[in-house]
Amino acid sequence: MTAVYRAPMRSRRDDIDPQGALDRAQALGLCGFGGHDDPVRLARRIERFAEVADGSFVWTRDVDGLYWLGRLDGAYFYDADGESVDLVHVRPCEWRTAPMAESAAPTAVVATFGRGGRNFQRIHDAAVGDESARLWVSSVSGRTR
């Protein structure tokens, strides 16, 4: 079963536009998070993120509440050019070109975002991998990288 993750891509800094990181990620084919955290905790977060298998699905949500499905496709790297939107710890990610409404997203994805938070985390649900894979394959809008 393919692993599925919540990837809010919203900065922990409140002075950063929450849509900016997502716009950058989609334009450049990236997924990740910012760098302002306790150094020890940040190191653990980076290590866990870097170890996620290529091909894993990621879900994010934009400021309009629409859900975006992506798939990790490459190794971790530090992207200093992403500092302005606090998206510096990144991996290549292929994103669907069109978002979906909450009603079309898997229930487990909606529930995970509903709990709030800004952490990249695995979504533990027996059906979410198959549901995400079906949505990935059935995308008629194509994908972008």
* Tens of pLDDT, residues 77-115: 999 999 999 999 999 999 998 999 999 999 999 999 999
Q: Per mean pLDDT, which of 37-46, 104-113, 116-125 is the most reliable?
A: 104-113
* pLDDT of amino acid 141: 43
Closest CA to 116 of 5, 3, 35, 6: 6
Query: CA distances (Å), 66 to each of 19, 45, 61, 76, 135, in order?
Result: 12, 26, 5, 26, 15
* pLDDT of amino acid 83: 93
